[in-house]
Amino acid sequence: MKSTKLAATGFAAAVALALSAGAQAGPHADLSLSDGASADAQAAFAAWNAGDFSGNYDKCYAVALAGENDCAAGPGTSCEGSSTTDYQGNAWMLVPAGTCEDIQTPVGSGSLEAI
């Protein structure tokens, strides 16, 4: 009986880990880079848009769509997916390192700090 419980617990943990691994918010059509972005930032942003989620990331505020933030959405929220408006200034998502402040949304630029 113990081995059955242990196996079930291990399976549940593996399923939870697999589900959480793909939970990172990704790029969307309203994001672009400023004209002055470095070549490295342009390459990282292009790879991210193409589905390459490897590499280093920064927390970038005010770039996620409502309900698509990775975390931090202010008081009274639970974290991931809890932002209530597009480009909410206190909600972040992970973006390729070095691109955040060059990311443009319809309402402004990304920020490395909550707005």
Q: Which of 102, 98, 73 is nearest to 85 (CA)?
A: 73
Q: Would the pLDDT of 40 be above 80?
A: yes
Residue type, 59: K
Q: Cα–Cα distances in Å, from 9 out to 2, 14, 39, 103?
A: 11, 9, 47, 42
Residue type, 40: D
pLDDT tens digits, one per residue of 46-73: 999 999 989 999 999 999 999 999 987 7
User: pTM for the full model?
Assistant: 0.74
